[in-house]
């Protein structure tokens, strides 16, 4: 039976989303989604068949519309019940249908309840408490309401919710201005007025924040830009309240200054001193390859000089130095963020990733904030806390884009640095820097700097061989350099001979550093049986590069299934891929991928007898081997 803590929850403050415990529930079919969204917008109230029909077809519904709506409702019931929801969620009434969901299980109701409580606190003169309450409520929003749905009726309901959100945000900012927080609000208001250039209330609030920050000229410029936009787009002059704000600034009206009673608005007792976490791990001593990669990072702007939170995303394969670069950048930026730094390893590429709820709980504890029981409430508290702070958040090994979005700072005052093996993130998330292996010169520099006794410089060919056996991979090169530094009586050639063994390669490298083989084992274990077979089959020295057609012939699979297996391994960062000038997509293994694949093939025994039949694409092999 579903417990109260793990009951099915519905979210409309953003894309339509249903969760059962920690699992997402899929509602297949746009019609079912439109019907469910309409019921959620009217939760606790009966919705007629006619209204549901309008939500499904907008206009000109088919003659069988009533029957189709009823069929959609039946499928919706079955889908929700199969996912763990109670059987009585959708109730049939004589006049239509009703969604019987508890207030705490619908984010819209939770938002409205928190807004009501905050407004009551404001009415009682508890201004600071009211501001915190509104921030917590606003943090529940994940984007525009129901933004993934297209029904005209649903869009109208979503527009009403978006307007509620905007009104609450303006109320919240007004309260925070009354508390004397004008400087902290300038960045957020600047971003909002860029997004909503015709909202006079926002323009007035930004003008007030700028004026109180000693930026009178910029405040008047906001008025001029807003007036110009209104005349050009609406043919209207600004309303009286906005004109009065402009006039008060021009005359230096004393009423516009910071309220003398602002300190008195803070709720007693005085809040404890804010905890400032400083969680960054120490940077690496060697920066070989880091400076070159850092040149590809866009120039960082001050927190108050940008409309959106700054974000830097470092992606790349196994062991290419994503974490090293992220930590180095974080140390360069940390002084800009007065409220500290948060760091978490999300272990996205490990067998057991860190749960989102645990990460947020750790961050809240670091900021000295009580941790709620429910994950959604933790996220809301986290966003509220960051909205009032200027913090640097560093997330290592992020598993997926949706996790990154949940932890993204909500306002321009903070910034995010993240690493991930995932190949693609939305461009709206920030600056993405793709990292790869080191060039030969950088690989030699790394070996020489770590070994430090001249052996590398005196035997460049031998050192090049060591680098090649490491695949020019930073994590392997560091392991090799530490191992060689610990054996001053070894020659570089002697060490290269030890590395030139499939059986001993990882063992030798791991004696000087982390378990490199384990970095390949986890993604390999997640592959389908077909993808594992293809991966092992590509381990022969003369079997790269290959096309999907060759893999299909090897496995006796349709071409589309072979392509799917190859791309699965590519996404896991176990196979490399590129489109060559002739138009063919070629797949191959990098050096340590190949060693791991050979070991896996040996462990699989006779099950890979067909692997040796893989042969290279003649027209591609020369290009691959040459480049």
- Is the CB of residue 32 less than 8 Å from the CB of residue 79? yes
Q: How confident is the model at residue 165 (pLDDT cuts 50, 70, 90)?
A: very high
pLDDT tens figures, 142-164: 889 998 898 999 999 999 999 99
pLDDT at 490 over 90: yes
| Residue 307 or residue 477, greater confidence | 477
Confidence (pLDDT) at 293: 62
Confidence (pLDDT) at 544: 65
SS3 content of the chain, % helix, strand, coil (to 5): 55, 10, 35
Could you give the CA distance from residue 599 to residue 582 in angstroms, rounded to a whole number? 33
Q: What is the CA radius of gyration of the chain?
A: 30
Domain 290-435 CATH class label: alpha beta
Between 5-9, 42-46, 145-149, 425-429, the lowest mean confidence (pLDDT) is in 5-9
pLDDT tens figures, 456-483: 999 999 999 999 999 999 889 989 998 9
Q: How confident is the model at residue 627 (pLDDT cuts 50, 70, 90)?
A: very low
CA distances in angstroms from 427 to 148, 309, 440, 463, 467, listed in the order given:
18, 13, 31, 40, 34
Q: How confident is the model at residue 294 (pLDDT cuts 50, 70, 90)?
A: low
Confidence (pLDDT) at 225: 93
Percentage of the chain with pLDDT > 70? 87
Confidence (pLDDT) at 611: 43
Q: How confident is the model at residue 510 (pLDDT cuts 50, 70, 90)?
A: confident
SS3 313: strand
Cβ-Cβ contacts under 8 Å for 184 (sequence gap 6 or more): 176, 388, 390, 413
Confidence (pLDDT) at 495: 94
Closest CA relative to residue 249, chosen from 219, 294, 225, 279: 219
pLDDT at 175 over 90: yes
CATH number for 8-102 (one of 3.40.50.620, 1.10.10.10, 1.20.1250.20, 3.60.10.10): it is 1.10.10.10
Do the domains 8-102 and 517-626 sit in the same CATH topology, yes or no?
Answer: yes
CATH 1.10.3430.10 fits 517-626, yes or no: no
Mean pLDDT, to the nearest integer, of 217-230?
A: 93
- HSE, CB side, 13 Å, CA atoms: give it for residue 397: 18
Cβ-Cβ contacts under 8 Å for 17 (sequence gap 6 or more): 10, 11, 24, 142
Closest CA relative to residue 51, chosen from 69, 67, 32: 69
Tallying the residues shown for the chain, one arrives at: 627
Residue ranges per domain, the chain?
A: 8-102, 180-269, 290-435, 440-514, 517-626
pLDDT at 618 over 60: no
Confidence (pLDDT) at 370: 87
Q: Quote the mean pLDDT of the chain.
A: 84
Closest CA relative to residue 608, chosen from 543, 564, 547, 563: 543
Cβ-Cβ contacts under 8 Å for 7 (sequence gap 6 or more): 20, 86, 102, 105
Neighbours of 131 (CB within 10 A): 27
Could you give the CA distance from residue 326 to residue 331 in angstroms, rounded to a whole number? 9
Burial class (CB in 10 A: 0-12, 13-18, 19+), 303: buried
pLDDT at 496 over 80: yes
Could you give the CA distance from residue 13 to residue 162 in angstroms, rounded to a whole number? 9
CATH 1.25.40.10 fits 180-269, yes or no: yes
Mean pLDDT, to the nearest integer, of 32-44?
A: 92
Could you give the CA distance from residue 158 to residue 211 in angstroms, rounded to a whole number? 35
Mean pLDDT, to the nearest integer, of 16-23?
A: 83
Mean pLDDT, to the nearest integer, of 524-553?
A: 81
Confidence (pLDDT) at 258: 66
End-to-end CA separation in angstroms for the chain: 60
Confidence (pLDDT) at 533: 87
Confidence (pLDDT) at 457: 94
Could you give the CA distance from residue 324 to residue 319 in angstroms, rounded to a whole number? 10
Could you give the CA distance from residue 225 to residue 193 in angstroms, rounded to a whole number? 10
What sign has the CA pseudo-torsion 542, 544, 548, 549? Answer: negative
């Amino acid at each position: 039976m579903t417990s109260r803590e793990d009951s099915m929850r519905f979210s409309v403050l953003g894309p339509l989303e249903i969760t059962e415990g920690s699992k997402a529930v899929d509602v297949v079919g746009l019609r079912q989604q439109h019907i469910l969204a309409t019921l959620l917008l009217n939760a606790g109230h009966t919705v007629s068949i006619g209204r549901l029909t309008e939500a499904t077809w907008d206009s000109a519904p088919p003659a069988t519309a009533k029957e189709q709506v009823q069929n959609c409702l039946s499928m919706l019931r079955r889908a929700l019940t199969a996912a763990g929801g109670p059987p009585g969620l959708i109730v049939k009434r004589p006049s239509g249908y009703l969604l019987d969901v508890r207030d705490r299980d619908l984010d819209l109701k939770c938002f409205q309840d928190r807004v009501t409580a905050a407004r009551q606190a404001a009415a009682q003169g508890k201004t600071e408490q009211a501001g915190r309450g509104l921030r917590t409520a606003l943090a529940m929003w994940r984007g525009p309401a129901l933004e993934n749905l297209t029904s005209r009726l649903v869009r109208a309901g979503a527009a009403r919710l978006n307007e509620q959100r905007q009104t609450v945000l303006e109320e919240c900012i007004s309260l925070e201005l009354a508390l004397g927080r004008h400087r902290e609000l300038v960045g957020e208001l600047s971003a909002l007025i860029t997004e909503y250039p015709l909202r006079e209330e926002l323009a007035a609030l930004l003008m007030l924040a700028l004026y109180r920050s000693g930026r009178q000229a910029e405040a008047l410029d906001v008025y001029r830009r807003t007036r110009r936009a209104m005349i050009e787009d609406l043919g209207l002059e600004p309303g009286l309240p906005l004109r009065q704000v402009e006039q008060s600034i021009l005359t230096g009206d004393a009423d516009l200054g910071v309220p003398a009673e602002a300190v008195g608005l803070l709720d007693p007792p005085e809040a404890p001193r804010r905890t400032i976490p400083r969680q960054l791990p120490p940077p690496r001593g060697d920066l070989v390859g880091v400076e070159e990669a850092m040149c590809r990072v866009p120039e960082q702007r001050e927190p108050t000089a940008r409309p959106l939170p700054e974000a830097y995303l470092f992606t790349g394969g196994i062991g290419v130095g994503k974490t090293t670069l992220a930590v180095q950048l974080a140390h360069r930026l940390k002084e800009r963020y007065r409220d500290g730094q948060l760091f978490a390893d999300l272990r996205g590429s490990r067998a057991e990733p860190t749960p989102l709820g645990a990460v947020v709980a750790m961050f809240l504890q670091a900021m000295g904030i009580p941790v709620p029981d429910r994950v959604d409430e933790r996220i809301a508290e986290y966003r509220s806390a960051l909205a009032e702070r200027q913090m640097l958040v560093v997330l290592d090994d992020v598993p997926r884009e949706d996790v990154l979005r949940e932890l993204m700072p909500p306002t321009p005052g903070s910034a995010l640095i993240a690493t991930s093996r995932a190949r693609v993130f939305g461009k709206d998330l920030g600056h993405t820097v793709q990292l790869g292996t080191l060039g030969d010169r950088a690989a030699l520099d790394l070996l020489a700097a770590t070994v430090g006794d001249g052996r590398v410089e005196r035997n460049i060919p031998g050192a090049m061989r060591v680098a090649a056996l490491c695949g020019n991979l930073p994590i392997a090169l560091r392991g090799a350099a530490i191992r060689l530094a610990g054996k001053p009586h070894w020659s570089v050639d002697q060490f290269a001979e030890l590395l030139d063994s499939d059986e001993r390669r990882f063992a030798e490298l791991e004696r000087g550093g982390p378990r490199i083989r384990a970095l390949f084992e986890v993604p390999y274990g997640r592959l389908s049986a077909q993808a594992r077979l293809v991966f092992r089959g590509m381990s022969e020295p003369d079997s790269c590069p290959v096309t999907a057609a060759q893999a299909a012939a090897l496995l006796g699979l349709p071409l589309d299934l072979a392509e799917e297996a190859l791309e699965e391994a590519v996404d896991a960062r176990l196979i490399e891929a590129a489109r060559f000038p002739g138009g063919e997509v070629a797949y191959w293994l990098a050096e340590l991928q190949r060693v791991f694949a050979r070991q896996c093939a040996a462990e699989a025994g006779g099950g890979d007898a067909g692997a040796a039949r893989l042969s290279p694409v003649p027209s591609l092999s020369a290009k691959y081997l040459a480049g």
